[in-house]
Structure 1
């Protein structure tokens, strides 16, 4: 099956690198395919009285890291004409699924951190949550 709208969740990890590679290979099968790459960061927020405080250092660190990831993507992707990079802040699974719906993605590709057993139960798994809640096919890359 060929997909014309592929969304890749990318965090710079080895498995997300493989997920991006898989998306690019699938996109080559259909020259009409468009690949969207989404990176989500979740800034630490502290509730102070009635307001929310986000440490300026966290914003700066995330901005710098995000810029590095975008440069890394540009090095891997030879042709950016059918590629869109989206960066958002928030709850990772919620943002990915919301963006997938916004753009009308037909396939979601995500890397797996390889958590298993009790650590996955306690920490949760983005890939597991995406598989459980996505309305479109999800390809989990190990």
Structure 2
């Protein structure tokens, strides 16, 4: 099976780093386009107090961290002519699925486990959610 437009979901975890190696190899083998997507989620804060304010420093810190990850990804794929790295805020599984659909990707590559922690125990893993809802092949790398 040949792929032409590969989406790789990256979160910085060890399985994600292994998945990145596989995505790069598939991209080179198929002379495909590769998009590295870093999806992150800033949780909403709910309060009954009318003066709850998220400190601007927090949002700046989040943005700085996400930009550093994207720059790292761009450096890792700079040798590939058809590769790009993007970052998006939102529920990771939904962001991945929506991006794959919008960009007409024909393969999603991702690690088996990410950085979800407690959220994964409560809500289920991002990789599981993507596998269950993706209309295209999903390669899970352990």
TM-score band (shorter)? 0.7 to 0.9
Bigger mean CA deviation after superposition, 125-134 or 78-87: 78-87
- 5 Å-filtered alignment, 1:20-59, equals 20-31=20-31, 33-47=32-46, 54-59=54-59
* Structure 1 residues 121 and 42: alpha-carbon distance in aligned structure 2, compared to 1, 3 A threshold: closer
Q: Which of structure 1's runs of 4+ aligned residues deviate more than 2 A?
A: 47-50, 52-58, 119-123
C-alpha displacement of 1:58 = 3.1
> What is the Cα-based RMSD across aligned positions, in Å?
2.5
Structure having the larger proportion of residues in strand: 1
Distance in 2 (CA, whole Å) between partners of 1:91 and 1:101 is 16
Structure 2: gaps (5+ residues): none
- Alignment coverage as a number of residue pairs: 138
Provide closer, same or farther for how the CA distance between residues 114 and 72 of structure 1 changes in structure 2, counting only shifts above 3 A. Answer: closer
Unaligned runs of 5+ in 1: none
Residues 68-77 or 132-141, more deviating:
68-77
TM-score (norm 1): 0.84
Give 1:25 deviation, angstroms: 0.3
Query: Please, what TM-score do these two structures have when normalized by structure 2?
Result: 0.84
Residue aligning to 1:100: 100
Contact 2:39-2:88 within 8 A present in 1 as well: yes
Residue 45 of structure 1 deviates from its aligned partner by 2.0
**Deviations for 1:7-60, whole angstroms, at most 9, x for unmatched residues?**
0001111111111111110011122x100111111113223569x954423322
Equivalent position of 1:8 in the other structure: 8
Partner Cα distance (2:124, 2:104) in 1: 26
Point out the more displaced range, 96-105 or 15-24.
Answer: 15-24
